[in-house]
Copies of this chain bind each other. A is one copy, B any other.
Amino acid sequence: MPRFFMAGTNIRGGMAIIRGRDAEHVRVLRLRPGEDLIICDAQGTDYKCRLVSADPEQVEAEVIEVVPCPAEPSVAVTVLCGLPKGDRTDYIIQKCVEAGASEIQFFLSDRCVAKPETPEKKLDRWQRIAEEAAKQSGRGIIPQVGWIGDYAGALDCAVKKDLALFMYETGEREPFNAVLEAHKDIRSCAILTGPEGGFAEFEAKLAKIAGLHLCSMGERILRCETAPVVAVSAVMYATGNLS
């Protein structure tokens, strides 16, 4: 069944009214009255609809069934990344959205090499990457991409989640799988990963004091753009959202 991802679709009184570029899209697919389609409202809900009329300007469809989007995981994962260099941000956004993350936030930490004065300027582009990835992978929401500023802000965001993970390459850490096995029923989870040079020791100490779980992902050193994707995949797997 064709699926349309339409933020701001006008759905009321059991009818969905589609205008503009989305209506054009329905027309291009040559859908005819009587045929079924799914309209996702980009807020986690799928509307199973039957086409009533399809003019170039406006498409009308009757809502048959309203269901939670099945592609949305049961756990909302917030990925918090120390700002990497260049287009690694884009890669992190695209792949984490595909893997199932609900939110991606960047911040400056001690070893960040990239120190743009106004990363806020990049927010529009980052958000577009998230939107494209969400559409392509059939997500039910458009994950938010944001700039959280400094490390303290990242910690503050992390501790508000049911489970907060600090991915760290050295020192005393908990096994990733032991932590996840003990938190299978979480509804929200934060994953902190560092920039190219990793986290400084004092940052790890702060994270531990703040109540984050310092976790190891094994002896292989993951690039700063790879670690978030591997971690999100593991969280999805462990919480039953990769089957």
Contacts and interface: CB of A to CB of B under 8 A. Distances in A.
Nearest to A99: B230
Nearest to A216: B243
A2 to B, nearest CB: 14
Given A98-B222, A222-B98, A217 B230 contact: no
A234 B231 CA distance: 10
Given A230-B229, A234-B234, A222 B137 contact: yes
Given A98-B223, A136-B223, A178-B243, A71 B234 contact: no
Interface in A209-236: 215-223, 226, 229-230, 233-234, 236
A10 interface: no
Interface in A43-84: 70-71, 73
A175 B243 contact: yes
A157 interface: no
Given A218-B243, A237-B234, A242-B234, A226 B70 contact: no
A166 interface: no
B229 A233 contact: yes
Given A237-B234, A240-B177, A136 B221 contact: yes
Q: Specify how many copies of this chain sit in the oligomer.
A: 2
Contacts of A238: 237
A241 B226 contact: no
A106 interface: no
A140 to B, nearest CB: 9
Contacts of A95: 226, 229
A211 to B, nearest CB: 20
A146 interface: no
A138 interface: yes
Nearest to A133: B223
Contacts of A219: 70-71, 138
A229 B237 CA distance: 13
Interface string A154-175: 0000000000000000000001
Interface of A: 70-71, 73, 95, 98-100, 136-139, 175-178, 215-223, 226, 229-230, 233-234, 236-238, 240-243
11 contacts: A95-B226, A98-B226, A99-B220, A99-B226, A137-B222, A138-B220, A176-B237, A177-B242, A218-B236, A233-B237, A237-B237
